[in-house]
Amino acid sequence: MKKWIAVSFVALSAVLTITACSKEKEVPSASQGTESAKPEAKKNISVSIYDRGNIPQGEGSVDKNRWTEWLNSKAPANVSFIPIPRNESVSKLNVLFASGSAPDLIFDFDSNYRNQLFTQKQLMPLDELIDKYSVEYKKRLQENPLLKTATTFDDGKIYAFGRLQNTTPGGALVIRTDWLKKLGLQAPKTPEEMLNVAKAFASQDPDGNGKQDTYGFALSSWNGAVIDHMFGSAMTFQDKIPFQIQSDIWTHDWERAKSATEFKKKMFESGVVDKDFLTDKDGNKAKQDFLSGKLGMAYLLVDPKAFETFWKNNPQAELDIISYPTTAYGQYGPLWNNPVQAVGVINESAKNPEAIMKYVDFTLKQETSNTMVYGTEGQHYKVENGCPKPTLTEENKNQVGSYTKDYVMLYNQNFEDPKCKPAVITDANLQKKYEDWLAADYKTYKTVNPALPVIHPENMPALPKDLATSSSSALSAIWDIWQKSIVSGASYTVDAAFEESKAYWDKSNGQKIDSWYKDYYAKNKSRILNVDQLNTFRK
């Protein structure tokens, strides 16, 4: 079998202590049960699997189909797959834990939930299992020491399995260069220039249709996050992280969020953005404005379908990626995908940990990964020039790809040989344009960091449960306070929002939260993947 996927994997977070009423669990000795020459019978384990509601008709269910049968025929354990609704994973897993029927091996992307399981002592430490029974995963851990850093918890033990991902930006700030040329403007390099360009785009009919129906920018979703990141703030619609590391001290930085909000208010009051942006919570309205040619600057996620739609709708357009304008806080860029992503943990109550460890190794093997990603050679793909080429019949499309990768969540993402990467856009010219765009995206932002204290939001230290609840509630309320100040004119200023936000934080255990982070960082900085370490993973 040809090698197409590099399978270096990271250890993910999972810690467990045993309840007072149970005996301390011992990892079985490798020498136990070896007296007989007969092959050891497979042991039973249960493994969670995301149910995304995308199983094609006729293919069975997410827990019983051709691929679960293939896995069970090859795996070193008898596997029962437990469906977990993708968008309700936490609530479903909570029900299963409460009933004592949670899966032995749990795959989930939610780092906050993993932290919760850790503090509740619901997870099993992995160090001894990896040392005694792993080959594949242990090798990957040895080859990537930062993976151990990323998956080691406060007691110094590993509690999770993880994967490596190619480190690339999640998107880019793009601008309609044809509009710039028509209006005699240059790409902005400062916030003031950005506002002036946005004003021209919104008022000088850059699309030439004789109507004032274009916007200069947008403030909803990821577009608003561009402004937050420009001013060095990670207090965004999604992450709500008001912290930075300054002079090697973990600091709650209020000024950056205030500066970002002041600039958003200027944009709003200048009429360069959609006045109803607060109702566009998922950013779909702004996205459609951009795709239909009505938005001059926007944050474009790495999304081949959207890219293709834009060029089909605007074939004469000129579109370029630009750096984020530099502010008084420096220059920043977009978030990058997490290079060391934790995705799996072992339930503390699991009865066959050795079998689970061997199953994890099995999912890392080349044959397993290739089969779940590409299908069966000769039926679902053929090999051309050393690369797998899918056989794109309707039947094959239903059988592979739409849901199968979730069975090997630990395989390293996007490590294929570049020459083997499949086209994602049917039109060859647009595919080439898209590949060039991705290259430009990487080149533009490869030397600037995102505005984060850590390498990725998933790597934030885990607050104790009581403080985590207070923090989440308070930061959501404070985000709404900042948003209110943007749209309220002189009746509610950013200065007023600043004072109200600080007061709200203080009454919500804010000082305790700030002190906890400050002390934790001082004691554990060597185990925290700070944002500067992103360069370790960049090409």
For the segment 172-189, the average pLDDT, to the nearest whole number, is 98
pLDDT of 377-427, one tens digit each?
A: 999 989 888 888 888 788 888 888 768 999 999 988 666 677 787 778 889
Q: Are 290 and 526 in contact (CB under 8 A)?
A: no
- Is the model more confident about 27 or about 467? 467
Dist CA 266 CA 114 (whole Å): 40
With vertex at residue 346, the alpha carbon angle to CA 343 and CA 349, rounded to the nearest 5 degrees, is 155
pLDDT of 13-64, one tens digit each?
A: 333 333 333 434 444 444 444 444 567 899 999 999 999 998 888 899 999 9
Q: Over 80: is that where the pLDDT of 137 sits?
A: yes
pLDDT of 526 reads: 86
What is the percent of the chain with per-residue pLDDT over 70, rounded to a whole number? 92
Closest CA to 188 of 214, 159, 216: 216
Stated pTM of the model: 0.82
Q: Are 159 and 13 in contact (CB under 8 A)?
A: yes
pLDDT of 101-119, one tens digit each?
A: 999 999 999 988 998 899 8
Locus of tokens 């790409």 = 187
Q: Are 246 and 252 in contact (CB under 8 A)?
A: no
Dist CA 467 CA 210 (whole Å): 55
pLDDT of 415 reads: 62
For the segment 231-246, the average pLDDT, to the nearest whole number, is 96
pLDDT of 416 reads: 64
Structure tokens at 182: 């028509």
Phi, psi for residue 242 in degrees, rounded to 5: -90, 25
Burial class (CB in 10 A: 0-12, 13-18, 19+), 141: buried
Q: Rounded to an integer, what is the distance from CA 305 to the centroid of its chain?
A: 19
Q: What angle in degrees, to the nearest 10, is found between the helix axes of 353-364 and 366-374?
A: 70
Q: Over 70: is that where the pLDDT of 315 sits?
A: yes
pLDDT of 420 reads: 80
Domains of the chain with bracketed CATH: 43-167+339-416 (3.40.190.10), 172-335+429-538 (3.40.190.10)
- Is the model more confident about 346 or about 385? 346
pLDDT of 389 reads: 84
